[in-house]
Amino acid sequence: MDPEVLKKAPLFAGLEDEAASALAAAMGTIKLNRGEVLFHEGDKEDRLYVVVSGKIKLGRSGSAGRENLLAILGPGQMFGELSLFDPGPRSSTATAVTACEIRTLEHDELMGWLSGRPEVALGLLGQLAARLRRANDVVADLVFSDVPGRVAKQLLELARRFGERREDGIHVHHDLTQEELAQLVGASRETVNKALADFAARGWIRLEPRSVTILDTVRVERRAR
Ligand code: CMP
């Protein structure tokens, strides 16, 4: 049990310690290895999940086997609430990007908490609202931004979530392959690689396996606009 990470989850926002411990105690635990699938798009299942450690990717498949990544989730983030509130199949496939520990909450258990504790409902609504905001930004970027602009934006987003400040810049251990990074940007691997190589040649970033160091944040931010 890692209550500190769990308490970062929107589900726990506003709960005092005793209630947070009771909610944590009602949750199950799942451990996944890199590449293991937690659920598939279209599955009928309505548990709620919270990431305690590791990273999960949420992806959708399109025609001709193409994949698009909706999000990379890290510790404290929650997913699986759409099937809970809008009963229907899972809207994406959840796969472990690294070894992960995940907490689970059954539908009936959550409903009990929601009816008794408005703070829990508010926490969930907060996350839904933030996700809609982000989804609107992603749509706007797909319409208005070019691929390098979207790559720059994605690097900054990954840096905000997983970055670590070092002497020479912000080290971002994103754990993604180049293919996954391209799926997150929503462009071909070739185009995304070209943009990354261009940023590296200009000295804005340094590329490393499954990580990147942002050396010139100002330039990357300017390119993301
Ligand atoms: P559900 O449809 O139950 O299962 C897949 C989950 O992915 C979904 O609930 C959400 O929790 C999550 N999800 C779907 N779309 C997005 C998105 N655009 N950004 C982040 N998470 C999402």
Domains 3-143 and 146-224 are alike in CATH topology: no
User: How far apart, in whole angstroms, are the C-alpha atoms of residue 75 and residue 56?
Assistant: 9
Does any ligand 1 atom lie closer than 6 A to the CB of residue 90?
yes
Give the model confidence (pLDDT) of 148-206 as tens digits.
999 999 999 999 999 999 989 999 999 999 999 999 999 999 999 999 999 999 999 99
Instruction: Specify the higher pLDDT residue, 169 or 119.
Output: 169
Task: Indicate if ligand 1 lies below 6 Å from the C-beta of 132.
Answer: no
Question: Ligand 1 in contact with 206 (CB < 6 A)?
Answer: no
Rg from Cα positions in the chain:
18
CA of residue 93 to ligand 1 center, whole Å: 9
Please report the pLDDT score of residue 14 as a whole number: 79
CATH of domain 146-224: 1.10.10.10
Residue 140 predicted with pLDDT over 80: yes
Q: Tell me the two tokens of residue 120.
A: 């829990």
Instruction: Please give the DSSP secondary-structure letter assigned to residue 10.
Output: G
- Three-state DSSP string of 141-191: HHHHCCHHHHHHHHHHHHHHHHEEEECCEEEECCCCCHHHHHHHHCCCHHH
Q: Is 82 in the pocket of ligand 1 (CB under 6 A)?
A: yes
Altogether, the residues listed in the chain come to a count of 225
Give the pLDDT confidence score for residue 2 in this predicted structure: 62
State residue 5's pLDDT score.
83
Q: Is 125 a residue whose pLDDT tops 70?
A: yes
- The answer, yes or no, to whether any atom of ligand 1 lies below 6 A from the CB of 107, is no
Do the beta carbons of residue 221 and residue 204 sit within 8 Å? Answer: no
- At 120, give phi and psi (nearest 5°): -65, -40
Q: What is the CATH number of domain 3-143?
A: 2.60.120.10
Q: pLDDT at residue 1 above 60?
A: no
Atom of ligand 1 nearest to the CA of 94: 5
0.85 exceeded by pTM: yes
Could you tell which of 45, 46, 82 is best to mutate to test the pocket of ligand 1, judged by most ligand atoms within 8 Å of the CB?
A: 82
Q: Whose CA is nearest to atom 18 of ligand 1?
A: 70
**Confidence at residue 16, expressed as pLDDT on a 0 to 100 scale:** 84
Q: Tell me the pLDDT tens digit for each residue of 66-118.
A: 889 999 999 989 999 888 888 889 999 999 999 999 999 998 888 888 888 88
Residue 83 Cα, ligand 1 centroid: separation in angstroms?
9
Contact 180, 132 (CB under 8 A): no
d(CA 216, ligand 1 centre) in Å? 32
Higher pLDDT, 11 or 170: 170
Per-domain boundaries in the chain: 3-143, 146-224
**Ligand 1 geometric centre to CA of 185 (Å):** 17
pLDDT given for residue 3 in this prediction:
63
- Residue 35 in this model has a pLDDT that exceeds 60: yes
Look at residue 18 and tell me whether its pLDDT is greater than 90: no
Out of 6-10, 101-105, 132-136, 166-170, least confident range: 6-10
